[in-house]
Amino acid sequence: MSEARWRLSVDQDGVTIAGDRFRLTTAPQKFAADEAVFGLAESAEMEEIVSELEAMTRRTYGQYCGLARAMEILGERWAPMIIRDLLVSAKGFGDLQKGLPRMAESVLSTRLRELEHTGVVRRRSVPVPAGGSAESVVYEVTAYGRELEDIMLRLGRWGAQLLGDPRPEDIVTPDSLVMALRATFQPQHAAGVRATFELHILDVVVHARIEDGTLRAGAGQVPDADLVLEPGLALRELMTGALTPAAAITGGSIRMMGDSALLGLFTQLFQLPRTATHGHG
C-alpha cells in the first residue's frame, strides 16, 4: 500500500498542516512569545487534530475496488482483533487493552479512531455502576460493523486450519474463545438440542448454551452446566476428529464433570477443519 504523508509546521504566523493532496492553514496571527507557539503545538486539541488526520490519511492501495477499501480497514495491524472483541460485546478502552495486552495504547487509540471514521465502530456513554450521574465511554460495532461478523467467523475457521501447537508467546482470551465457539458451531446438528457446556482453557472459562439450534456463548461459569470440560490441548484434536470422544475418555486426555455421554454431542456441535496440508497446489 502507498502511505499518505503530511507535514505539520508551527510558526509565529500560524499553523499549517499539509499532505500530498491537501493543505490546511490557520488564519494569520501573531503570537506574543515562542512559548505560545509550542503551547499550541503540544496542546490536547492539536494532538486530536493530528490523530484525526492520521486516521484520514492512512495507507491506501490506490485502487477503486471494494476489496481494496475493505482491506484498508481490516488490513491494519490489530484492527481485526479489535473488531473480533467488540463483536462479542461493547467494551471500554481499558477492557479492550486487557483483551489485547500486547497492543500499545497509542495504537489502540489510533485504530479506534480509524474504525469510528469508517463507520465500523461508534462510542457511547453509559452510566458508571454506583456512580450517580457519572458516565463512562464504551465502544461498540455499528450495524455496518456487525455485517463483518459472518466474515470474521469464516476467516477464523479458515485460519484454524493453520493452528498447530500454541507458540510460547500465544495467549487465550475469553473473547477469542467465544468467537471460536461461534465460528465452529454446527447448527444442523443442534435441532431439538438443549444443553449447556462449560469450558476451562488454562485460566479462561467460557460457556456455550444450545437451545434448539441456537447458540449463546459467553465468558464465565454457569450454574447449570450439563458438562464441564477441561480439555487442554486435546480440544483441537477433539474438534477436528483426530481424537474420538471414547479415546479421550479412556486415555485421560481431558478432565470433565457431568454427563460424559454429552462429550460426543459436543464434538458434533463444534467442529474444526483438519489442519491444512502445505506445499501442495
In a domain, 156, yes or no: no
Q: CB under 8 Å to 201, separation ≥6 — which residues?
A: 172, 177, 231, 232, 235
Per-residue pLDDT reduced to its tens digit, 156-168: 999 998 888 888 8
Pairwise CA distance, residues 127 & 134, whole Å: 6
Q: Mark which of 87, 119, 147 sits at the end of a domain.
A: 147
Question: Do 74 and 142 fall into the same domain?
Answer: yes
Instruction: Dig out the grid coordinates for 121 from the structure.
Output: 465502530
The number of distinct structural domains making up the chain is 3
In a domain, 215, yes or no: yes
Structural domain for 205, as ranges: 166-269
Question: Do 170 and 264 fall into the same domain?
Answer: yes
Q: Mark which of 83, 118, 147 sits at the end of a domain.
A: 147
Predicted TM-score (pTM) of this structure: 0.78
Question: Do 138 and 170 fall into the same domain?
Answer: no
> What was the pLDDT predicted at 35?
46
Question: Do 79 and 52 fall into the same domain?
Answer: no
Other C-beta atoms within 10 Å of 155: how many?
Answer: 15
Q: Mark which of 36, 56, 76 sits at the end of a domain.
A: 56
In a domain, 135, yes or no: yes
Query: What is the DSSP pairing of strand 14-19 with strand 23-25?
Result: antiparallel
Long-range contacts of 26-34 (CB under 8 A, 24+ apart): none
> Which residue is listed with cell 493532496?
21
Question: Do 262 and 172 fall into the same domain?
Answer: yes
> What was the pLDDT predicted at 56?
57
CATH number of 265's domain: 3.30.1050.10
Segment (H or E) for 136: strand 135-141
In a domain, 157, yes or no: no
Q: Is 129 helix (H, G, I), strand (E, B) or coil?
A: coil
Question: Do 173 and 262 fall into the same domain?
Answer: yes
CATH number of 106's domain: 1.10.10.10
Q: CB under 8 Å to 153, separation ≥6 — which residues?
A: 179, 182, 183
Pairwise CA distance, residues 12 & 88, whole Å: 49
Per-residue pLDDT reduced to its tens digit, 49-99: 655 665 555 678 889 999 999 999 999 899 999 999 999 999 999 999 999
